[in-house]
Structure 1
Amino acid sequence: MKAFVDKETCIGCGTCPAVCPEIFQMDDDGKAVADEAEVADDLKDSAKEAAESCPVDAIEIR
């Protein structure tokens, strides 16, 4: 399972790194980015919560 952020949709609200900082960070442009590695088993629930918390649905977990 990996996390993906659509940077065109992202509004840079900072919710995803607040919920799951191990996977999501804010880049220099003020948009969220996801760690490119596989989401560890112990972080799957947190990553999914971050995706569900995104106000513009810019995050996909697959």
Structure 2
Amino acid sequence: MRIELDRAKCTGLGICESFAPDFFEVDDDGDLIMHKDSVTADELAAVEEAVHSCPTEALRILRESEVARS
């Protein structure tokens, strides 16, 4: 699975960082840094929480079948 970020929608609130700090960080300028975009089964719960908590819907998880098409 892979995380997709729509930078046009991201406002840098950092809610995703609070749920999955290994994946997301908001820098001093308010820009989101993705430390990694590949998600393992063990990491999925935290990443799903981060994605579902994003108020601007800037994040989404692409399943394997969707990754192959992109």
Q: Shorter-chain TM-score: which interval? A: 0.7 to 0.9
1:7 and 2:7 are equivalent in the alignment? yes
Contact 1:4 1:34 survives alignment (8 Å): no
* AA of the residue aligned to 1:34: M
User: Which residue in 1 is equivalent to 2:61?
Assistant: 61
Taking the TM superposition and a 5 Å limit, the aligned residue runs for 1:1-62 are 1-27=1-27, 29-62=29-62
TM-score (norm 2): 0.74
Give identity over the alignment, percent: 34
Q: CA RMSD in A?
A: 1.6
* AA of the residue aligned to 1:58: A
Quote the offset at 1:19 in angstroms.
Answer: 0.6
Quote the offset at 1:20 in angstroms.
Answer: 0.4
Quote the offset at 1:24 in angstroms.
Answer: 1.3
Contact 2:4 2:37 survives alignment (8 Å): no
Structure 1 runs (4+) deviating above 3 angstroms are none
Q: Secondary structure at the match of 1:61?
A: strand
